[in-house]
Amino acid sequence: MRTQIELSNDVAAELAGPGDAIMRTLEDHLDCDIFLRGNVVTLDGADAAVATAETVVREVSDLVRQGHEIAPGTIEAITGALDRHESPSRILEDVVWAHRGVKVAPKTVNQKRYVDSIRANTITVGIGPAGTGKSFLAVAMAVAALSRREVSRIVLTRPAVEAGERLGFLPGDVMAKVDPYLRPLFDALYAMLEPERVNQHLERGVIEVAPLAFMRGRTLNDSFIILDEAQNTSPEQMKMFLTRLGFGSKVVVTGDITQIDLERDQRSGLVVIGDILEDVDGIEFVRMGGEDVVRHKLVQRIVEAYESHGREQTTDLRRARGK
């Protein structure tokens, strides 16, 4: 079967990209041949494969017309969706936050599951390696909720493991003391809002930042609360944090269980809650992997290499114990 799809010149130029990279990537994930000549896409193959490819090309073309940038991360999202038999447009059309030319949207199937979980659940736990968008998307969801007045403030917290949770010896006020630990969340805020707006929110307490130790004894109502780097919490700290939840609030916990900085004999609170709270209603765990890394392609390769090395080490350890 052969089908031809005529596109506008602008859409065809965007799909062609540098060296027809987008078309080649799509062809690698579809079971038919794809050719782009001028502004006409030709699909050649079995009937079912061509029908699927036609749907995909039309969806991707619609995304281009709507102003979506077809960047490396977008290609990864499209191909990842195809591999999982998901609709690329269903993922990429979900713009979480848009402000002055900045658009934040999930770029992989698991990132889509993550933002959907944050919308639907009171507590969402996002677990995955660096670059999977856990913190960035959580901050975007928080900013969006604040702008819609669904919450009255954003609370950002993180365990200050390197300082042993004793920050008194560091110079400056609380903000200055925790700045090094919460810098990734600050970077995300400044990427989504004007610096002046962020600073105003901080001064008025609309955005609050504090080390995890400062959460004890509080009840946080009408707040969007993000606990970052949760792999470095103890089980006691994690229980303390989760029980700070008040009415009208939403909690997002993020962490990477492959980067635990605790003492070797201390269990991570992020690992423990996976065993305790997995089946509790209102709490959802979303686990991401190397396929969800949307930073530089080399970061994804590094994550995959470490995961492969970890599997080999585990296998070797089991064999050694077996002897």
Per-residue pLDDT of 19-63, as tens digits, reads 677 777 778 778 899 989 999 999 999 998 898 888 888 878 887
Looking at residue 63, which CATH number applies to its domain? 3.30.1370
101 and 204 together in one domain: yes
110 and 234 together in one domain: yes
206 and 70 together in one domain: no
21-28 and 72-83 helices, crossing angle to 10°? 20
Q: Which whole number is the average pLDDT over 278-305?
A: 81
User: Whole domain around residue 41: which residue ranges?
Assistant: 2-91
Number of domains in the chain: 2
Q: Helix (H, G, I), strand (E, B), or coil: what is residue 146?
A: helix
147 and 13 together in one domain: no
Overall pTM surpassing 0.75 (yes/no): no
pLDDT band of residue 165 (cuts 50, 70, 90) is very low
Burial (CB count <10 Å: 0-12, 13-18, 19+), residue 188:
buried
55 and 169 together in one domain: no
85 and 204 together in one domain: no
Q: How does DSSP classify residue 125?
A: E
Q: How does DSSP classify residue 105?
A: -
Question: Looking at the domain assignment, is residue 297 inside a domain?
Answer: no
Question: Looking at the domain assignment, is residue 178 inside a domain?
Answer: yes
Percent of the chain topping pLDDT 90: 41
Among the listed residues 144, 149, 124, 143, the one whose alpha carbon sits nearest the alpha carbon of residue 134: 124
270 and 203 together in one domain: yes
Looking at residue 104, which CATH number applies to its domain? 3.40.50.300
Burial (CB count <10 Å: 0-12, 13-18, 19+), residue 167:
middle
38 and 155 together in one domain: no
66 and 105 together in one domain: no
Question: Looking at the domain assignment, is residue 321 inside a domain?
Answer: no
Question: Looking at the domain assignment, is residue 305 inside a domain?
Answer: no
Question: Looking at the domain assignment, is residue 299 inside a domain?
Answer: no
Per-residue pLDDT of 129-147, as tens digits, reads 888 889 999 999 999 999 9
